[in-house]
Amino acid sequence: DVKVTQSSRYLVKRTGEKVFLECVQDMDHENMFWYRQDPGLGLRLIYFSYDVKMKEKGDIPEGYSVSREKKERFSLILESASTNQTSMYLCASSPWGRAGQETQYFGPGTRLLVL
Amino acid sequence: SQQGEEDPQALSIQEGENATMNCSYKTSINNLQWYRQNSGRGLVHLILIRSNEREKHSGRLRVTLDTSKKSSSLLITASRAADTASYFCATENKAAGNKLTFGGGTRVLVKP
């Protein structure tokens, strides 16, 4: 079974803090994704990556950055957390070289509260 | 607005009944996928239907796709309490660089 793990299930941070969300997958997938999920808005893509050191902006990249130094790990960074970044963050991975062509496998999510 | 939009937003049924939810989208797609999310958890893939397919089955799930109407439906037959979850459609869009775009979801409550 594909396993996607996220470093924290719940996180509380203060405005202005730098926040790191880590995601690790164990199936040697090329593609990895970060989404945020807010009530009524579904999932919105923040960033994705096709391969190590590759990254592409999604629909809402402002205020976020990412890092993919190893194939299995994709990190989401909030440079200076703000209250409007309070949300559920979901990481996903998929095989193939082109994002989205196959099923995505999701981690359990990190619920982030920014005070 | 979302590429994929589910209808209804919420659905409440008795165990044993069928549940039907719909997804509409706006642009040409390569495929459409349905996912389930249990409360507070990650999404789990249910079924993928390609743009040249019209119907697909997986266990108690039946998915249809009508590309002329840009719509899809997910039918869960003989529902169980364990089917209580949110269901999302996701479209892989030719115009959007083959990324997945998710709708807002349908919340399904199956009462025992």
Which residues does chain B have within 8 Å of residue A104's beta carbon, measured at their own beta carbons? Answer: 33, 43, 45, 90, 100
The gap between the terminal CA atoms of chain B, to the nearest Å, is 35
The alpha carbon of residue B111 and the mean position of all alpha carbons in its chain are separated, in whole angstroms, by 20
List the one residue out of A48, A44, A45 whose CA is nearest residue A30. Answer: A48
**Which of A4, A100, A105 lies closest to B100 in CB terms?**
A100
Mean pLDDT of B39-53: 92
Taking only the tens place, the pLDDT of each residue in B52-76 is 999 999 999 999 999 999 999 999 9
Task: Give the whole-angstrom CA distance, residue B65 versus residue B31.
Answer: 9
Residues A4, B2: C-beta atoms closer than 8 Å: no
List, for residues A34-80, the tens digit of each pLDDT value: 999 998 788 999 999 988 999 999 999 999 999 999 999 999 999 99
Instruction: Render the burial of B57-87: b for 16+ CB within 10 Å, e for the rest.
Output: eeeebbbbbeeeebbbbbebeebeeebbbbb
CA angle B105/B109/B112 to nearest 5° reads: 160
Q: Is the peptide bond before B8 cis (omega within 30 degrees of 0)?
A: yes
